[in-house]
Amino acid sequence: MDSTFFTKFIMITSINTLVFIAILFGIFFGMRKFEKTKASFSKRMIISTIIGLALGLLVQLVAGFPGDTVDVKWIGEVVKWYSLVGNGFMDLLKMLVVPLVFLSILRVIINMNAKQNLGKLTTRSILVLLGTTAIASIVGIIIGNIFKLGVGVEAVEGKAEMKDVISIVDTLRGLLPANPVKAMADSNIVAVVIFAAFIGIAIKRLSAKHSEVIKPAVDLIEASYKIMTSVAKTVIRFMPYAVIPLLSNTIAGKGIGAISVVINFIIALYVSVAVMFVIHLVIVALNGLNPIKYLKNVVEPLILAFTSRSSLGTLPVTIDTLTKKVGVENGISSFVGSLGSNIGMNGCAAIYPALMSVTIANMSGTPMDFSFYAMLVVIVVISSLGIAGLPGTAIMSVSVVISGMGMGAYFPLAGAILAIDPILDMARTMLNVNDTMVTAVTVSKSLNELDKEVFVG
Amino acid sequence: MDSTFFTKFIMITSINTLVFIAILFGIFFGMRKFEKTKASFSKRMIISTIIGLALGLLVQLVAGFPGDTVDVKWIGEVVKWYSLVGNGFMDLLKMLVVPLVFLSILRVIINMNAKQNLGKLTTRSILVLLGTTAIASIVGIIIGNIFKLGVGVEAVEGKAEMKDVISIVDTLRGLLPANPVKAMADSNIVAVVIFAAFIGIAIKRLSAKHSEVIKPAVDLIEASYKIMTSVAKTVIRFMPYAVIPLLSNTIAGKGIGAISVVINFIIALYVSVAVMFVIHLVIVALNGLNPIKYLKNVVEPLILAFTSRSSLGTLPVTIDTLTKKVGVENGISSFVGSLGSNIGMNGCAAIYPALMSVTIANMSGTPMDFSFYAMLVVIVVISSLGIAGLPGTAIMSVSVVISGMGMGAYFPLAGAILAIDPILDMARTMLNVNDTMVTAVTVSKSLNELDKEVFVG
Amino acid sequence: MDSTFFTKFIMITSINTLVFIAILFGIFFGMRKFEKTKASFSKRMIISTIIGLALGLLVQLVAGFPGDTVDVKWIGEVVKWYSLVGNGFMDLLKMLVVPLVFLSILRVIINMNAKQNLGKLTTRSILVLLGTTAIASIVGIIIGNIFKLGVGVEAVEGKAEMKDVISIVDTLRGLLPANPVKAMADSNIVAVVIFAAFIGIAIKRLSAKHSEVIKPAVDLIEASYKIMTSVAKTVIRFMPYAVIPLLSNTIAGKGIGAISVVINFIIALYVSVAVMFVIHLVIVALNGLNPIKYLKNVVEPLILAFTSRSSLGTLPVTIDTLTKKVGVENGISSFVGSLGSNIGMNGCAAIYPALMSVTIANMSGTPMDFSFYAMLVVIVVISSLGIAGLPGTAIMSVSVVISGMGMGAYFPLAGAILAIDPILDMARTMLNVNDTMVTAVTVSKSLNELDKEVFVG
């Protein structure tokens, strides 16, 4: 017990741990130099991604590409210390989410031209989010069948457990801000949006007759918003540094053994995400934006989402990018960004459960026909709405969809896939963030609020 | 496991569920039309109550008046979906409680004439609340004996368990705002009141010499208050819609079987509440207000309390009604309303434990004489103060009173009564809200702050 | 079960309980009279300490100096009721901590002269805190050996359990404000400081170009700060009353039996604290302040820390005293005070674990040489940083240090010492608060921000 206790406290028991901490510092020192060469931010982000990948592989190489990384204690320690920089940065981004969303939603409503726009904005956003979700689930079904996922796979004994069920009704009620302070403390973003919307509408209505009385509140909102965006700017500056440990941790933390078993599924998921990504770019083009230029402009939130695997943490960067580089009106960026972090996630709540359903159907010998696929799309769309805001979106979504397809009893077959979840999560999260941005572009365009001059830069 | 899981998620397994959801929407559509006929708000509330009752009975009728509604799955589903509208509305009202109470208390203190009024206001409020509590317990004792509650009843085996004890000292310390943000997040209303009082007193004192420095805070409080009351107005507009599913859920959710066993107790409680209600009206008359007119003016919070069974959720409506229809000064409304939601609840903490004590004494053969009754009144009053702010007021109150009377061992005898608690809770909560309003009237009158012109309308 | 339940609720079962509650009220009445004689606040604090001590001993005397106070039920009741006044007062002080720290840190940064000062302030504060921690651990080692702690003591069977381990990395990440509202609700002071620092830096930067936009926020911070310090003043006025039940509770609550077993350890700890206190005074003198005058000026936070055993609760008094009586610039007071409540506690995280290590080494026959002592100092300093902000600092610190010294298996030997922890905690907490103040003086002096005119008075 003794040494274990102190070891767990200090988290450095091997020379390898120290060496890799030193390597990270060395890289940071080099990047600091590089930063002064005035290299563009996007370029530095891409370089960080490459370094992060290389660093993760280096850890694996030094450890001799172990079958299971749990056997190599120092990898766990390196991952832990790297998380201090990587996830510590994500903590600071998350710090901004609640005040930024609250203040942005207030501002968008206060500054709205006509009152009915809020309703339009909400319905259109949800429609586009659910529409792309449906498309994404179809992509998942097709790719899953092309890859013949689960066909001929021996049913392995797994420990996968389905999440406890929460009814749609309870989920929806959980989105209501029954106590706004608690909603803020719990990072319940949809509840914060709804609370802010109520206050914003009240301010808007009062501004006609009582503008003198409420002026202090309106001015404070404006001032606070200015301050919070300035804080966001400060934090975001450090993003290229954080990307390196974030990505290398995901690469370093999973053994070759675990990956090789389900390599087929991993490839299918990455292919599905890539196909859906192309569809996203087509939608962008249909909105009159050059998709290549779009890609260049949004590379930062995409890389952060890919490496951090947190839609919510990426939110401040997503909003910032949509506003300053894509030309979406700031209020719409915040609004769609907040909704999209919770509703209609193309990656986590559509492609992933679709691929899983195909896999488990094949493993369990469940026959699949057109009605199976049609029902799958419907259930994916319903569940993507019904699990909005719950933690563990991906596993929750799979639980609901699999049981909705009547295959809940076979869920444990998916154990091997769940074991390498972080590797899948990178691609899924990136797609989630991109569908949020594509939705923002589409809704913005339909409301004539897309500023092409900003986009062209 | 399979189907259960998805069923629990989607909560629609029967055509009955769908039909009743459709019926509710149909009713809402009709009410929307009716709203445009400029029918008064109170009238619409009363009509909603009748519709809610009828709808609840219709559910029971369709299910064939089952002995135990747990056997009928679709009733649970209808209740769940109805709760999305009914309790969802209550969530929005609860959203307003913390900011509204915080801002109101600040305002009342900042705008107070003489500094000592706060002490007077507090002591008088608590005195009237505890005084009516004592009277209510006597009413309960008398009616309980008239109805011979528990006499000749075979002791049924119950599963009733007393709540864990929390000492008076711990309860009182729990009311202190050791962390104001946590107190707000926990909806700890008395703590919010105390925190606001400290800040209000400080602002009042500083306003003499440093009015320039603190002006931004004072102006912001005024602006925020204006905004929050405007939000309250928006939410309250939907009350007639919410009352229908709230009431029908209570009626639909309890089987005839459970009710018939304890019908005698239910009637005794409703009679006791009615008697106490008359006493409340006498107090109102003694304060120089016409009791019939009073009833007309306060029908909205009473109906909401009856149907929602939540004193706290009703609080924004209670404050609004006291201020705008009864003529109580707004600060006093907020202050007494906040205290009365926690202290001296005539229904939950006086009549109910008194009736329970008589019942259990008769069931267990405990002799009752004058000293028994005197002690019962004393214990009811002490416990009504000692459990202030704890969740589950009614069951907590009964636990403390029964054990204080030395009958704790017989508590399980009350199991059958606890099983139909929601039906009792409707009347109790309505009485709680009314005693809060009567206290506000009395204290307001004694401080010469009752505006009869508002009352007359 | 019956009587127990109500007894636990009402907490008065003996005439002794009532008598001692009456005695406390009598003392308060006398102090109220004494307050009007214009006796100085410090004088009244010292008199309260003496009365509190005497009252605690009186409780013990009436109970016949029991071996174990758990056997005497009414002592538990008196302690409970006394805690309503004593700890209730501490609750009100704690209420101020989060808003006061948040607003003070904002102000200090907004009003800073040059931008780089914040970095200097942080590094110097941490250096001095860790430096005094190292010195304190050496004092503990020397005194522990002089007292031969644990030598010849039969190994008693204890139930002491080490705290669950939390790694340094997790501790540090716990200090980041991933959700500022949650950090405030959890009284996570370092996180509040960091969040405030980010906002303060943003305001500072914006004040050049956008001063008009952010003015409402800056003015509100100034107004809120003024209000909160006024609230603090109101609460602090009652300190002499609260000190009496706080101190008497610690004295009354521990039996002679428990104390006599470990009297040697108690004396060693108090001697160590006294020695370290003298070293603190030397540091004060080196900063050019008269140590006797210093002692007179800071007697209030020291007494409150001693009697309340809460560094955090004492924080508002510590900040107030540093600013108004020692002459430390207000921002530095808040900043160092906040850090010092979490990092480098001389009493809890240095002297105490050092004494414990020596005791357990002797008890278990672990040989001690120079390398043992050197390693002990290093581990104490590391752990004092690594456990920052965790609850139960002292026991956490001992757990980490003992296991770091390879003696975790012998931890249960310390059971008898842990049993009388409150008596040790008084001295430890006082020393913690004093090292915070000494650090503030030292850092303030090094930044040329020490106002000697305030110090001299």
> Are the C-beta atoms of B411 and B162 separated by less than 8 Å?
yes
Residue from the list B166, B179, B213 with its beta carbon closest to the beta carbon of C95:
B179
pTM as predicted: 0.90
Q: Which of A205, A204, A197, A202 is nearest to A180 (CA)?
A: A197
Cβ–Cβ contacts within 10 Å for residue B69, how many?
21
Whether pLDDT at A126 is above 90: yes
Residues 6+ apart with CB under 8 A from C238: C89
Tell me which chain C residue has its CA closest to the CA of residue B199: C231
Q: Which of C438, C420, C429 is nearest to C135 (CA)?
A: C438
Q: Which residues of B167-178 are buried (b: 16+ CB within 10 A; e: fewer)?
A: bbbbbbbbbbbb
Are C199 and A227 an interchain contact pair (Cβ–Cβ within 8 Å)? yes
Tokens of C393: 């600092």
What is the C-alpha to C-alpha distance for residues B258 and B262, in angstroms, rounded to an integer? 7
Q: Determine the average pLDDT of the residues in C50-79.
A: 90
Are C219 and B216 an interchain contact pair (Cβ–Cβ within 8 Å)? yes
Predicted local distance difference test score (pLDDT) of residue A337:
92
Helix/strand/coil for C296: helix
Which of the four pLDDT bands, split at 50, 70 and 90, describes residue C163? low
Contact residues on chain A for B223, CB-CB shorter than 8 A = 213-218
pLDDT per position as a tens digit, A211-220: 999 999 999 9
Residue from the list B11, B97, B187 with its beta carbon closest to the beta carbon of A167:
B11
Separation in Å, CA C274 to CA A425, C281, C346, C351, C453: 57, 11, 12, 11, 29
Are B178 and C94 an interchain contact pair (Cβ–Cβ within 8 Å)? yes
Predicted local distance difference test score (pLDDT) of residue B2:
44
Separation in Å, CA A189 to CA A101, A102, A334, B291, C36: 8, 9, 11, 46, 54
Predicted local distance difference test score (pLDDT) of residue C1:
36
Contact residues on chain A for C177, CB-CB shorter than 8 A = 91-92, 95
- Mean pLDDT for all residues in chain A: 90
* HEC assignment per residue over C362-406: HHHCCCCCHHHHHHHHHHHHHHHHHCCCCCCHHHHHHHHHHHHCC
Q: Determine the average pLDDT of the residues in C363-377.
A: 91
Are A235 and C169 an interchain contact pair (Cβ–Cβ within 8 Å)? no
Predicted local distance difference test score (pLDDT) of residue C386:
78
Cα C129–Cα C131–Cα C132 angle in degrees, nearest 5: 70
What is the C-alpha to C-alpha distance for residues B95 and B90, in angstroms, rounded to an integer? 8
Contact residues on chain C for B390, CB-CB shorter than 8 A = none
Residue from the list C181, C216, C409 with its beta carbon closest to the beta carbon of A185:
C181
* Locus of tokens 């003794």: A2
- Cα end-to-end distance, chain C, whole Å: 60
Tell me which chain C residue has its CA closest to the CA of residue A93: C178
Whether pLDDT at A15 is above 50: yes
Predicted local distance difference test score (pLDDT) of residue A2:
44
What is the predicted ipTM? Answer: 0.88
Best of B176, B213, B215, B400 to disrupt the C interface by mutation (most C CBs within 10 Å)?
B176
Are C383 and A9 an interchain contact pair (Cβ–Cβ within 8 Å)? yes
Contact residues on chain C for B218, CB-CB shorter than 8 A = 223
Residues 6+ apart with CB under 8 A from A398: A352, A353, A356, A414
Contact residues on chain C for B215, CB-CB shorter than 8 A = 223
What is the C-alpha to C-alpha distance for residues A143 and A247, in angstroms, rounded to an integer? 26
Predicted local distance difference test score (pLDDT) of residue B1:
37
Which of the four pLDDT bands, split at 50, 70 and 90, describes residue C192? very high
Predicted local distance difference test score (pLDDT) of residue A92:
94
Residue from the list A166, A202, A404 with its beta carbon closest to the beta carbon of B227:
A202
Burial class from Cβ neighbours inside 10 Å (0-12, 13-18, 19+) for residue B343 reads buried
User: In the CATH hierarchy, which fold is given to the domain comprising A2-456?
Assistant: Proton glutamate symport protein (1.10.3860)
Predicted local distance difference test score (pLDDT) of residue A162:
65
Predicted local distance difference test score (pLDDT) of residue A154:
62
Tell me which chain A residue has its CA closest to the CA of residue C198: A231
Compute the CA torsion angle B268, B273, B275, B281 (nearest 10 deg): -170
Contact residues on chain C for A186, CB-CB shorter than 8 A = 182
Contact residues on chain C for B400, CB-CB shorter than 8 A = 5-6, 9
Cβ–Cβ contacts within 10 Å for residue C13, how many?
16
Residue from the list C3, C5, C230 with its beta carbon closest to the beta carbon of B162:
C5
> Are the C-beta atoms of B407 and B357 separated by less than 8 Å?
yes
pLDDT per position as a tens digit, A81-110: 999 999 999 999 999 999 999 998 998 888
Compute the nearest-CA separation of B445 from chain C (Å): 31
Compute the nearest-CA separation of B447 from chain A (Å): 29
Compute the nearest-CA separation of A3 from chain B (Å): 38
pLDDT per position as a tens digit, A155-209: 555 556 666 667 888 888 888 999 999 999 999 988 999 999 999 999 999 998 9
DSSP B329: -
What is the C-alpha to C-alpha distance for residues A298 and A305, in angstroms, rounded to an integer? 11
Helix/strand/coil for B425: helix
Are B88 and A173 an interchain contact pair (Cβ–Cβ within 8 Å)? yes
Number of Cβ pairs < 8 A linking chain A and chain C = 121
Are C91 and B178 an interchain contact pair (Cβ–Cβ within 8 Å)? yes
pLDDT per position as a tens digit, C267-278: 999 999 999 999
What is the C-alpha to C-alpha distance for residues A281 and C144, in angstroms, rounded to an integer? 72
What is the C-alpha to C-alpha distance for residues A285 and A281, in angstroms, rounded to an integer? 6
Give the type of residue at C38: K
Whether pLDDT at C114 is above 80: no
- Mean pLDDT for all residues in chain C: 90
Which of the four pLDDT bands, split at 50, 70 and 90, describes residue A392? confident
Q: Determine the average pLDDT of the residues in C56-77.
A: 89
Instruction: Identify the chains in contact with C, defined as 3+ C-beta pairs within 8 A.
Output: A, B
The segments of chain B whose pLDDT lies below 50 read 1-2, 115
Are B172 and C227 an interchain contact pair (Cβ–Cβ within 8 Å)? no
Residue from the list A169, A179, A217 with its beta carbon closest to the beta carbon of B95:
A179
Residue from the list A88, A219, A230 with its beta carbon closest to the beta carbon of C206:
A230
